[in-house]
Chains A and B, each alone.
Chain A
């Protein structure tokens, strides 16, 4: 990935060589970013927990957030309608009538936190506090018993939640399995 060392010495040659190696050489007009600037926008969450913010939320606090913010679209206890079903469907994937929900299908719990934080609620995304996102994640997972009713989720406990379908995915990249 790094540019060949000869580029500094033979800039003219580099112009012709680079398209084959890593595209054309740019004019270096990127503005250097400070760690503070990155911190403000970096909402990436990795399944191992990297990127999770401080804060925490309980199942009971999440039930209140859910009732106020989520239920009108996702139904009582995540049953769905008019929007996606968030609960149930466990054990249906091989049944011929698969029901894909976070509980039945999603391999890691961090996805739920990440998606709610970046995209929900749909009418005012990114409006929930980190505590509220932890809480509503805990609540949704508790409905199917994936976490116990007294659970408090935070940056340490969320990545440790075992999703029922954690081994359900087979990677097709860089090539399908043999």
Chain B
């Protein structure tokens, strides 16, 4: 799986033991940073002398001996990366309603490239002519206004990094038996981008919101006219009309020319292809806030308007489909996030939750954004169960899978933030397990 960090056999056992902070070989999160396992003194490499009659290219790879290919107008990933694709349940090329997922297990860092951002469409991706698109703000306002893209471009903008997570992300984790699917298939309905746009509160202030207003009905310009009720409070807080994603115009799949961005709130509310904001005094019980995106509980009642995504994490390395190549030092790595704010800590267990160790969080740790965590692990080659547990700055933390499942009626899949487990076998295979 390509994360073997080095050979520690040369180190004394005592050195290793000093670094262990939790059961089954979890090491201090600063171990590798300090180089605590390195043996002192590295022999100087011998200096080779090339014969005067030899050209240095004799042993060079061919790509060093001929000029490379020309410049390109818009770069694409290396051909060696062609497996890094969005993940489909039903296959690409289908319009209508459905999803594609971000291949989280094949990626690193925290930012999702535009072309790998997960998709959720309710009737395909509209091909919107930006010159014919306006955002209407009307309803309980003093001055109903339309904003063209050109007009919007002249507004003060801000740039912030946020995740967008579908409410149905990790829904398969509620299944009675653990699905043997990759971490991307399980958790890939989340992506994280640098978004640039105009604060929604700026536009609403210009329209002049009336006192009786409490909600804003957002509507997309797609062939589903996707619509959600958004609390006015959120709209006046950190909501944004996003125009750019990772420095380029928002991709069509993400709402070109403009989308609503509600940091930390379930993905469906971040209405893409935003065309209308109707300021109003009550929610409308839209189809996607009644039929869908509501959470049925065991007694038959359903939670409605559970907007913010809860603290959550997933170990991506190692994860299902990877093979650990024998005992040794590995880096456990994954992503954590919370719709309530910053991640304050991520704990890792290598013994099915008996003991936990603090993972290192990669700076910057931003609110409502993906946070990368890492922890060195000295795997002894025996069967192990890995878990991660995220806690956010308001104290929200992940429940066990069992307690999450007990909260909801059978078969429910929204807002699943139960602690996930990977089982590492003695043969190095990694499986999804319920522990």
Interface residues of A, Cβ cutoff 8 Å to B: 1-3, 22-33, 37-38, 41-48, 93-94, 96-98, 100, 102, 105-108, 110-111, 114-115, 118-119, 122, 125-126, 168-174, 176
Contact = CB atoms under 8 A, between A and B. Distances in A.
B231 interface: yes
B81 to A, nearest CB: 35
Interface in B218-265: 219, 223-227, 231-233, 236
B287 A169 contact: no
14 contacts: A23-B205, A29-B152, A31-B147, A32-B145, A33-B144, A41-B136, A41-B276, A105-B291, A119-B123, A119-B225, A171-B305, A173-B305, A174-B233, A176-B306
A94 B299 CA distance: 5
Nearest to A30: B145
Given A25-B202, A44-B284, A172-B306, A33 B225 contact: no
A172 B305 contact: yes
Interface string B148-177: 100110111010000000000000000000
A22 B97 CA distance: 36
B291 A169 contact: no
B199 A24 contact: yes
B203 interface: yes
A168 B217 CA distance: 22
Nearest to B294: A169
What are the 7 tightest A-B residue pairs by CB atom distance, in nearest-first order?
Answer: A30-B145, A94-B300, A23-B199, A173-B305, A24-B156, A23-B201, A29-B151
A97 B300 contact: no
B116 interface: no
A33 to B, nearest CB: 4
B302 A42 contact: no
Contacts of B213: 1
A98 B300 CA distance: 8
Which secondary structure characterizes the binding site on chain A?
A: loop
How large, as a class, is the contact surface on chain B?
Answer: 35 or more
Nearest to A169: B304
Contacts of B151: 29-31
Contacts of B96: 122
A33 B205 contact: no
A46 B284 contact: yes
Interface in B255-302: 275-276, 278, 280, 282, 284-287, 290-291, 294, 296, 298-302
Interface in B183-218: 198-209, 211, 213, 217
B285 A107 contact: yes
A131 B202 CA distance: 39
B144 A26 contact: no
A106 B202 contact: no
A114 B287 contact: yes
B40 to A, nearest CB: 53
Nearest to B145: A30
B8 interface: no
B146 interface: yes
Contacts of B236: 1, 22
Contacts of A26: 155-156, 198, 202-203, 205-206
A98 B155 CA distance: 48
A171 B231 CA distance: 12
B171 to A, nearest CB: 14
A105 B291 CA distance: 7
B303 interface: yes
Nearest to A34: B144
A122 B280 CA distance: 28
B392 interface: no
A6 to B, nearest CB: 14
Interface in B403-418: 409-411
B99 interface: no
